[in-house]
Structure 1
Amino acid sequence: MQVLAKFGYAYAAFLLFASLVGAGNLVWCFPALLLLLTAGVCLKRLRNHTLYWCVLSAAVLALASFFLYTLFVYRPVAELDGKTAELRASVEDITDWGSYKSYELSVSDVDGTPVRPFGVLLYSWNDDGGITYGDRITVRASLSLNEPAEGTVLSDYYKSHGLFLSTDTVEQTVVEPGAAYNLVSAVRGFRDVLIDALYDAMPADRADVVSGMLLGGTTNLDDAQKVTFSRAGVNHLFSVSGLHLSVVVQLLMVLLSFFRIGKRGSAVAGIVAVLGFMALSGFTASVMRSGIMMLLLLFGLLVRRHSSGLNSLGLACLFLSLSNPYIMYDVGFLLSVSATLGILLFQGPLHWRLCRRLDITSRLGKELASLFTVSVSAVAGTLPVTVLAFEEVSLVGLVLNPVVNAFVTIVMLFGFVTAFLGFIPLLAPAAMVSGAVCSWAVNAIARGAELAVKLPFAYIPVGGRSVKIGFLVVLVITGVCCLFRRRRKKLLLTVVPVSLLFVVLMAGANRYVTDHSLTVTTVCTGDSSAVLIESGGVNIVYGTDDTSTGTALRRLLMGKGIRAVDLYIQPGTGRRPNRVTERLNAIVPVRRLALDVQNIVTRSVTASVPEEDMLPLTDISLEYPDGTELRVIGVEDPVLEITRNGRRVLVALDVKSTLEVQGGSALDLTVAQTATCNPGRSAAKEVLLLTPTEENDPGDERIAAVYQSYTTVRRFPDWEAAGA
């Protein structure tokens, strides 16, 4: 492997480390780097060690670039959070969500002062049909900092794409038409036409999946579909990979072969096709990674040189990491790189050993074995990213992926054919035929994923911090054991089962504590919060109407392995349905829904919850088989009274709530946070209930509602006291 490729891998690894620890904590890393630099200069053994200096220089450059980018690019933009400013920007992309549109703006001027370009998301519920790609737009808007799209550090789509701010409150808008011809606008307009051709040739729900598989992204999928594909272990289908570009290049090669064009001419045409596909896909990080590797392969054919996969991947990582220090926040890029690296490192040895052990000699048998080993290698490569970025790890994906890959090829082939045939009106009938084949293949993949996730142990939750650490420790120990060549097999056979048993015991201990105690977990984003109450297997959710908090709440439930919510208390008295409740119920079924009477009468509630399972907030008193008793008191700011094992705990969402209880005495309920939540870091918090008793009783009685609970969101406000 070339030195430049090694430098690329090291640079990407330290950039990932910087993304995990945050720019504020990198100050403590620079003295360690200085110490390593001194050791390299003083020790003769390290002075001429090429790999040592390669890794050390990559570490210094990666940490410094991340720190400086945060200091001089991100923080000045973040200071606009909560302010109203006049922005002058150009329209880069438009997404139609049905009831509203979102515009990606590249801002070049703030309040008349030129700035370094940064991204802003503008949400509009009005009919802005006059705005198109490339237009110059001047708006005066109230800005807010974007929360992580999925509630975790490694799933911050907005930050990885430079979309630091968003707004949906615009006071005035001035639109200036862009240039008569804009190449970027033309490419994105052509992309929209191809996507429309897919929707004309097949049902809308299937076209949603096909468009995501062809061009990458899960924008058009609903939450239930996203979770199903993730639990089935096939969510990588929506990240553009070498498979996509291989289908594009192979289709072009077949067409060019009819005209008897040689390999060099076909390589040049393939380079043009790859660049065009990258433009259609929006030059996302995963597209760029696979595109660079394919371009290096085609360039090798052009100059008659062999291209190494490991070298190509290292160079792609280096190029993309240098161009965007925040690229490690893009989980699609991480999955793409880790899956490719796993295939390059493990697929060859696994395939050779499998064919040798099973005595596979036929060509068909080797192809089938290759499908299985590629799947296992990709899953092994993506396992660290999956554990860190997601709350669940799929086990059924090992078996499902080899089967799905055959259908994926059909979807890619007929999907591209359908899109381009549908672009020509005279060929619309042919597009309908190819669209029917493509729709059949997509239906097979979707049904297979739905059936697979229903199997026992199809996926396991890894939301607990101890479980995540345990998994990572197992991976590190396994990697260290692989370095010992002589005793590798014995070490792996001993260490791996013991380590896995340790992880299982840790998860079991966490589950036992949860089932035999009363645990209150707070989830907060910005000024909104939600609460999960676990009492002996009974799960109660004090809900929210904030989308970001709802996403974090959903991830918390998934990470804890909670399959159903016994009681969900929906806040608010509005007439519109609560979208957060609907999205949660699609993934984690809600058995009983408590809400205001007005919502039940007007039927402005979640359609998927039967009316007989809806309870008015005015009168709720439930008893569960394990002895847990629950009362809900109040409507506008309801308070929960939970009695378990003779102990009574009162939980309120607002900072301070006064209740009239039996006997006429008043209880002032305050929930205090014993640890400050620092922005940019997840924090452990102990939630205590302070219940001042009657005046003649001395002191305050403190009831510990939870020993420690970990939040799953990344950014918190500084709390002195907050509702739980």
Structure 2
Amino acid sequence: MKRPLALVGFTYLLAQVAAAFLKNYSLTAGLSIGCFLSFFILMRIPFCRKTYCFPVAFLTAAVAFTIFTVSDWNISSIKSFDDREVTVTGTVMETPELSNEKFYYIVKVDSCEGTDTDELIGKTIRLSSKQALGAESFDTLTCRVHFYPTSHSFSSWSKRISLEGYIFEYMPFSYETPKNYPLTAFPMKLREQLLSNIWDYLSKKAAGLGGALLLGDKVSLSQQIVDDFRLAGVIHLMSVSGFHMGIMTQLFFFLLTFVPISHRRKNLFAVFGIWLFMAVTAFTPSVLRSGIMYLIMLIGRFFYRRADSLNSLGFAVFLICLMDPFSAADPGFLLSVSATLGILIFASPLIKCFLRHWPEKMRSNKFLKNFSEILSITVSSMLFTLPVILIYFHTFTPASILSNFCLLWPVALFLYTVAGTAVLGGIPGVKILAVPFSWAAEHLADGILKTVHWIASLPYASISVSEEFSQFFLVCVFLLFGITFLCFCSKKNLQAAGILSVCILFAGVFGCQLESYNATWVTFVGGGKGTSLIFTKNGKSAVIGCNTKSRLIDYALREQNTKEVCFLTYLTKKPSEEWAASDLILKWKPDHVLLQPATYLEDSIRLALPNAGRTHTFGTASQIELWDQIRITVVPGAALATIDGTKLLICSKGTSLDSLPESFQNADFYFGVDLPKSSKPFQPNNIFLNHFLSSSLKKSSAKLNVPVYITDGNGSFVLEMKPDNTIKIRRSA
């Protein structure tokens, strides 16, 4: 084996990815036993014993499945705490995070009252609160907590979170700052100081972007910006990884040019700098992966040895997955690994291929070389991150080539300027030097955000694909590269596997678009505290209900490749819904807007209406037909859409079915915040709720004897309704 560490590392990662998506420790235990048996059988075959590839691969997979199964069982074993109240005392492990108008605290439990078992002690839990408690990282927090059942989400897995709950703010709580911080607290406090310096010198948007790109702190970054980065295909820039590590390494070597030591010893100083940067960015899996690779490279330079890139990457992946079995559930880590693998395999051949088509005299041109490097890195990283983006977000982003090409150098310059602002802004006597850096960072941030938003707004910047195709494509890619690594591990064969994967991708995306032509897509927007339904057909959309955040509706519209909003209405007279509707009217300029009957309109909606094509006001009810196929009946608080005989009912919170017209009573699909209230029998075929899962809701929905789909904070639901009356339901990111 030429690259044993690459074989072990990537086999281990693939096995853990498979275990993470199976979400069943009984099944992963079976796979572990099967892999162990395969290892022993193969060791009896002379050919396999001689090459070692297959036995090593099966043994590695068996170990990966075993460790993942034990770790998953360890977390799942304390699910008995669901729907229980206990008093918890623990250490806040990370800086509190503000998201969706709630404060989140990651706490490692030291002790608990109200339970007769010690199973919770030592476990990591995530607690939410509607108000800031004042506790910071490494403080000891004591509070009364109610644990609630949650779906087994990848975000919880990747942070090793065992349970989630909310804090009773009205009950006594306390926190205590330690007299002496542990040594491990130094990087966290340094991180907080650097973020504070960034916020002191930059505006809100620039500081949020700087903290996210430099230190991976997305707390203060608006979700609108995150959505733009995802739709533009550059969400991987939000995960601190090899690109950021390379820039920091260059910065460390630049600073070391002023130190009178040999170049060999500078490598050791750079090792310390990289370790410190890894600690400041909280040792996330993507940071660990890139950091370990750079550490191997620098230590090799010190001993006059050249490290093999693929072996280094494999070793880094294996070490991270061994230390944290749930790293495979972290999309940031997977994006980092796949992008690096693509660059290592494809970047150099692409540069040669590109330069080969130019005259020999021009090949040495510096600008042309830089252009070819940027282009090759962009294409290779985009191709290899596609499987991860498809499986997590079910989207294909053709715009990512344009956005990566346009943003690579501006983001690099932005990181340099933000780093200068963060460091110089905290050194007494030289703080004035941070001003020019902050001025440059401000202008670069403005340009980056405008560019990303423009690219994300382009038609077909992001194309939705079916979950079935995403899974099929992922299986094909794993099989192709698995067989190549095991049997024909060479760069040429890996390149051939990559090209074949791209062919499968484009054929599949084109097939999905043909299959979904003339289909009607219904998106039930998850998130917020209200209801919103979006109908989309061939690039045209209609929005029914705006009682959720306008950002979520806007993202859902763009995710469905909407070119034109034909119709928009809101269901209640609540100011929050009118504000959301006005925001959407300003952005999308719908052809028709249906207003609720009112003697007075909010200023926000009144000022936005000139941007709409036509406005209508209804009394008791109003009816509209769309695209010769959809008939929508709107009444205060509810709407009924009929698509080829299938009835979909959407109700705002608190609406009673008894107050609605009789035609609304026999709907096939129900969409709302809570379960329908009716004195008469109401039995739709499917119920969709924009709600967080709880045991009481679980029990109530079980009595209905119909499928109940609950958003539970994990994204929207999308229904694909085809002309032949077949309906597919899937999750949207």
User: TM > 0.5 between the two?
Assistant: yes
2:148 corresponds to 1:144: yes
Q: How does 1:634-653 map onto structure 2 within 5 Å?
A: 634-635=636-637, 638-642=638-642, 647=645, 649=647, 651-652=649-650
| Mean CA deviation greater in 578-587 or 409-418 | 578-587
Task: Go from structure 1 to structure 2 and tell me whether the alpha carbon gap of 1:475 and 1:531 turns closer, same or farther (over 3 Å shift).
Answer: same
**Structure 1: how far apart are the matches of 2:128 and 2:234?**
31
2:133 corresponds to 1:121: no
2:165 corresponds to 1:166: yes
Query: Residue 628 of structure 2 aligns to a residue in which SS?
Result: coil
Q: How does 1:527-542 map onto structure 2 within 5 Å?
A: 531-533=533-535, 539-540=541-542
Task: Go from structure 1 to structure 2 and tell me whether the alpha carbon gap of 1:685 and 1:705 turns closer, same or farther (over 3 Å shift).
Answer: farther
Task: Go from structure 1 to structure 2 and tell me whether the alpha carbon gap of 1:12 and 1:586 turns closer, same or farther (over 3 Å shift).
Answer: farther
Q: Is the 8 A contact 2:526 2:716 kept in 1?
A: no
**Structure 2: how far apart are the matches of 1:495 and 1:96?**
39
Q: Is the 8 A contact 2:526 2:717 kept in 1?
A: no
TM-score normalised by L of structure 1: 0.80
**Structure 2: how far apart are the matches of 1:93 and 1:596?**
46
Amino acid at match of 1:36: S
1:710 — aligned with what?
729
List per-residue Cα deviations over 1:189-218 (Å, max 9, x = no partner).
332222222223232211211221111243
**Aligned-pair CA distance for 1:10:** 0.6
**Structure 1: how far apart are the matches of 2:598 and 2:325?**
50
| Mean CA deviation greater in 567-576 or 325-334 | 567-576
2:264 corresponds to 1:270: no
2:512 corresponds to 1:506: yes
Q: Is the 8 A contact 1:573 1:599 kept in 2?
A: no
Q: How does 1:322-721 map onto structure 2 within 5 Å?
A: 322-358=322-358, 359=360, 360-364=362-366, 365-462=368-465, 464-469=466-471, 471-472=473-474, 475=477, 500-501=506-507, 503-514=509-520, 531-533=533-535, 539-540=541-542, 559-563=559-563, 566=566, 576=576, 601=601, 618-624=620-626, 626=628, 628-635=630-637, 638-642=638-642, 647=645, 649=647, 651-652=649-650, 657-658=657-658, 661=661, 669-673=682-686, 707-712=726-731
**Aligned-pair CA distance for 1:18:** 0.8
List per-residue Cα deviations over 1:616-650 (Å, max 9, x = no partner).
79543323353633212353xx24153x66x4735
2:700 — aligned with what?
none
List per-residue Cα deviations over 1:465-493 (Å, max 9, x = no partner).
24425654775798689979999999999
Q: Is the 8 A contact 1:474 1:499 kept in 2?
A: no
2:107 corresponds to 1:105: yes
Query: Residue 632 of structure 1 aligns to a residue in which SS?
Result: strand
**Structure 1: how far apart are the matches of 2:399 and 2:717?**
35
Task: Go from structure 1 to structure 2 and tell me whether the alpha carbon gap of 1:671 and 1:291 turns closer, same or farther (over 3 Å shift).
Answer: same
Q: How does 1:202-281 map onto structure 2 within 5 Å?
A: 202-281=202-281
List per-residue Cα deviations over 1:321-375 (Å, max 9, x = no partner).
1121111221111110100011111112222222223345315122321121111
1:4 — aligned with what?
5
Task: Go from structure 1 to structure 2 and tell me whether the alpha carbon gap of 1:469 and 1:616 turns closer, same or farther (over 3 Å shift).
Answer: farther
List per-residue Cα deviations over 1:363-417 (Å, max 9, x = no partner).
5122321121111111111111111112332223223323422222211222111
Long gaps (5+) in structure 1: 689-703, 715-724
Task: Go from structure 1 to structure 2 and tell me whether the alpha carbon gap of 1:255 and 1:134 turns closer, same or farther (over 3 Å shift).
Answer: same
Q: Is the 8 A contact 1:23 1:66 kept in 2?
A: no
Task: Go from structure 1 to structure 2 and tell me whether the alpha carbon gap of 1:488 and 1:521 turns closer, same or farther (over 3 Å shift).
Answer: closer
Aligned partner (choices 152, 155, 158) of residue 157 of structure 1: 155
Q: Is the 8 A contact 1:91 1:137 kept in 2?
A: yes
| Mean CA deviation greater in 336-345 or 168-177 | 168-177
**Structure 2: how far apart are the matches of 1:575 and 1:617?**
19
**Structure 1: how far apart are the matches of 2:40 and 2:528?**
44
**Aligned-pair CA distance for 1:279:** 1.6
Task: Go from structure 1 to structure 2 and tell me whether the alpha carbon gap of 1:609 and 1:135 turns closer, same or farther (over 3 Å shift).
Answer: farther
Amino acid at match of 1:398: I
Task: Go from structure 1 to structure 2 and tell me whether the alpha carbon gap of 1:253 and 1:472 turns closer, same or farther (over 3 Å shift).
Answer: closer
2:46 corresponds to 1:44: yes
| Mean CA deviation greater in 111-120 or 5-14 | 111-120
Query: Residue 81 of structure 2 aligns to a residue in which SS?
Result: coil
Amino acid at match of 2:377: V
**Aligned-pair CA distance for 1:80:** 2.4
**Structure 2: how far apart are the matches of 1:224 and 1:234?**
14
How high is the sequence identity, in percent, across the aligned residues? Answer: 21
Task: Go from structure 1 to structure 2 and tell me whether the alpha carbon gap of 1:332 and 1:70 turns closer, same or farther (over 3 Å shift).
Answer: same
Q: Is the 8 A contact 1:202 1:432 kept in 2?
A: no
**Aligned-pair CA distance for 1:428:** 3.0
Q: Report how many aligned residue pairs link the two structures.
A: 681
**Aligned-pair CA distance for 1:11:** 0.5
List per-residue Cα deviations over 1:505-525 (Å, max 9, x = no partner).
3321222233xxxx6566779
Amino acid at match of 1:140: R
2:308 corresponds to 1:304: no
**Aligned-pair CA distance for 1:294:** 1.3
**Structure 1: how far apart are the matches of 2:149 and 2:599?**
32
Query: Residue 137 of structure 1 aligns to a residue in which SS?
Result: strand
**Aligned-pair CA distance for 1:536:** 8.1
